[in-house]
Amino acid sequence: MAKKKQKQVEEEINPNAHILGAGIVVEQPITETLETNYMPYAMSVIMSRAIPEIDGFKPSHRKLLYTMYKMGLLNGARIKSANIVGRTMQLNPHGDAAIYDTMVRLSRGYEALLHPYVDSKGNFGKSYSSSMQWAASRYTEAKLEKIAAELFRDIEKDTVDFVPNYDNTMPEPTLLPVTFPSVLVNATTGIAVGMASSICSFNLKEVCETTAELIKNPDHVVADTLIAPDFIGGAQIVYDRDQIEEIYRTGRGGFKVRAVYRYDKDNRCIEITQIPPTTTAEAIIDKVIEKYKSGMLKSYISDIRDETDKSGLKIAIDVKKGVDPDALMQKLYKATPLEDTFSCNFNVLVAGVPRVLGVKELLEEWIAFRMECVKRRVFFDLSKSKEKLHLLEGLQKILLDIDKAIAIVRNTEEESEVVPNLMIGFGIDEVQAEYVAEIKLRHLNREYILKRLKDVEDLKKNIAEMEDILAHKSKIKKIIVNELKEVSKKYGQERRSQLCYAVDIQQEEAVEKEIPDYAVTLFFTKEGYFKKITPQALRTSGEQKLKEGDEIISVTESNNRAELLFFTDKCQVYKSRVDDFDMGKASVLGDYVPAKLGMDEGESTVGMVVTEDYAGYVMFFFENGKAAKVELSAYQTKTNRKKLIKAFCAKYPLADMKYIREDCEIVLHSSAGRLLLLNTGAISPKTTKDTQGVAVFTLKKGHTVVKVRDYVPGEFAKPYRYKTKNLPSTGALPSAEDSGEQMSLL
């Protein structure tokens, strides 16, 4: 009894005491433990979970999309997500929750990818909100997006390798034969063991164009066509060419992304509509509230709300009276995630090895991968064509004597002897004889066989073409370029993320001095010289000093706080303030604007606009008789950018430009001497700066618009002669009574 009790006590202390060697501590080197226990886990995470491969997908993405493809979800109606998740478990053994999370990220509804692969219906949450959780898989529906067809094109033609799934019941692809560099088109992030991957998304058009250019010219500068990253949520990318080129070269680095906002003057409310992809609306609101409680923002903000709805993201910030919204946003950019850094780490698995690649290297690896896919596809088609040709050549021999073939079959006693007898009778091999033996009785006629033999010449031609393609890499590359152009044309979109230059941001962030407010008169000359003179100095001054051959084209009474827009002959506009220029006087030439504003080499000014409220319109008149009317507000920017590109249409030479506060009448002169009296109200205003405009002056071949000027009431004896009810118009030659007046005006 005592021994039994003692044994019972020992088992309570050590339940495994009956196992031989249990409880004995064995020393084991840490390096051996890591190699046998930790390294397999680390390799599994790196290769099978966190790091994308050259096709742009992690295994979880690939398994899900391939399952949907095999389910026929590329066409037809959506089905329940739970059904898709269940079927995917045949390839992915990690559980339904992980599979559904993967589907959510790939969906259109979640808004995480620039080009989503899953067409979703129902609540799939939002990537920009941590509180908007997606519905369970039994409530939502999904199918594949149209662009997903480019992931599986010709997958059945042995373009990629297949391996058995985890339980060896069905095959799955090791890679997808993507027809475009999806690894760069959609953002991918992953944290492995000892390494991570963070690839930002790029515009599909730019990626396809860059890849095509690299195929044609290996020395192509990537940054010339792949301008900058592009995000589905838009936002502004703080663009620094040197910084972007460094990321493109090394595959590592970071760039800043800023939120986009607009200001509602009536309600004194800043509305944030686009935020960086690295943050959420809740994180921004929490940070603003934190700064408010600390006292940093108490004198600026009265309330902040999340007004996100079905129309999209919106964070509303109510501003106190007298607060400059632009200055407040500069503070918020510094203090909150409204401005954040996207860190790049282009870590990709290439042939099973994780490598950090620059964009050019990454695209070169993709091109090599795609060339192998195309080569395997062509070889597959070639093999099938040769097999078909081989069968038809056997059929061609039968054609010589159909009756003999029928006789051989009829006179053969055993079925197993039919094929050998046909082989002997016509000198064909076993494959050809088997094909002939399987022909239906109704097809044993000359007409059917002749129709089949028409394909022989086409097959021979196609086989020769395919063999030629396989023999020349240049032809394979040409196929890839054509496919890239096709994808770009079919699925390409305009950029969502706009660029703001780092130099401009630095100027904005500089402490703004208090600008004194006083009246000034502004002079601007044809050669690009600018002067500001106070009314007092103007009264006592003499004649304005000008460069030889120069003339004053604009005299404007304004104030020192007004803004200036200088339009140039390279279709750009440079923005400045009156206060940025030193006070001048009549006896000096003034500031040379191209040098003062740092314009491009050889760039010169064509016009100036002075404004305080960006009201009115800018009229552009082109030499071919077209005119464009652009709202001045189109040039107003929240970020106070100093330079805007595509300020007006570059397609036609500019004859003249005019700034008008409201519609008025102007006179157009043609090189043929004809005049057109035009009311600007006849032209509809546009918000697109580089609009081509509408035809207003019909010109004969070889003639152009040479001058545009304001109409002086009463200058024409019969103004109706030069007017028209419909545009475009040919105008009219000056009448005898108007000729003298015209000469003085010219």
Residue 366: closest CA among 574, 183, 146: 183
Q: How far is CA 300 from CA 265, 287, 637, in A?
A: 15, 15, 21
Which structure tokens are listed for 146? 């149209």
Whether the per-residue pLDDT at 106 is higher than 90: the answer is: yes
Whether the per-residue pLDDT at 11 is higher than 90: the answer is: no
Q: How far is CA 95 from CA 67, 89, 146, 271, in A?
A: 15, 7, 27, 41
Bigger pLDDT: 268 or 397?
268
Give the whole-number percent of the chain exceeding pLDDT 70: 93
Instruction: Give yes or no for a contact between 631 and 685, defined as CB atoms under 8 angstroms apart.
Output: yes
Question: Can you give the pLDDT at residue 446?
Answer: 72
Whether the per-residue pLDDT at 510 is higher than 60: the answer is: no
Question: Can you give the pLDDT at residue 7?
Answer: 57
Q: How far is CA 259 from CA 170, 238, 633, 638, in A?
A: 47, 11, 21, 11
List of residues 6+ apart from 21 with CB closer than 8 A: none
Q: How many CB atoms lie within 10 A of CB 406?
A: 13
Instruction: Give yes or no for a contact between 230 and 202, defined as CB atoms under 8 angstroms apart.
Output: yes
Give the whole-number percent of the chain exceeding pLDDT 90: 53
pLDDT mean over 410-425 = 85
Distance CA 333, CA 133 (A): 27
Question: Can you give the pLDDT at residue 8?
Answer: 60
Q: What does pLDDT average to over the chain?
A: 88
Whether the per-residue pLDDT at 664 is higher than 80: the answer is: yes
- Residue 531 pairs with which residues in a beta bridge? 523
pLDDT mean over 17-28 = 68
Give all domains of the chain, ordered by start, each with its CATH number: 57-174 (3.90.199.10), 260-337 (3.30.1360.40), 366-491 (1.10.268.10), 513-745 (2.120.10.90)
| The amino acid at 600 | D
Whether the per-residue pLDDT at 728 is higher than 50: the answer is: yes
User: Which pLDDT band holds residue 306 (cuts at 50, 70, 90)?
Assistant: very high
List of residues 6+ apart from 59 with CB closer than 8 A: 48, 49, 92
Question: Can you give the pLDDT at residue 20?
Answer: 61
Question: Can you give the pLDDT at residue 512?
Answer: 46
Say which residue the tokens 């401009």 belong to. 504
Distance CA 619, CA 685 (A): 9
Task: Output the CA angle 600-602-603, nearest 5 degrees.
Answer: 60
Distance CA 537, CA 588 (A): 13
Whether the per-residue pLDDT at 511 is higher than 50: the answer is: no
Say which residue the tokens 């930002």 belong to. 200
Q: Which of 551-555, 584-588, 639-643 has the lowest mean pLDDT?
A: 639-643
Which structure tokens are listed for 293? 């409680």
Cis status of the peptide bond prior to 728, with omega within 30 of 0: yes
Whether the per-residue pLDDT at 507 is higher than 70: the answer is: no
Whether the per-residue pLDDT at 743 is higher than 50: the answer is: no
Whether the per-residue pLDDT at 567 is higher than 90: the answer is: yes
pLDDT in tens, 681-711: 889 998 889 899 999 999 988 899 999 999 8
Question: Can you give the pLDDT at residue 716?
Answer: 85
User: Which pLDDT band holds residue 638 (cuts at 50, 70, 90)?
Assistant: low
Q: Please report the DSSP string for 657-669 in residue order.
A: EEEESS--EEEEE
Active site residue 617: no
Q: How many CB atoms lie within 10 A of CB 246?
A: 17
Catalytic residue among 66, 100, 117, 139: 139
Whether the per-residue pLDDT at 297 is higher than 60: the answer is: yes
Q: SS3 of 590, please?
A: coil
DSSP 609: E
Bigger pLDDT: 587 or 466?
466
Q: How far is CA 671 from CA 674, 676, 733, in A?
A: 7, 12, 11
Bigger pLDDT: 744 or 251?
251
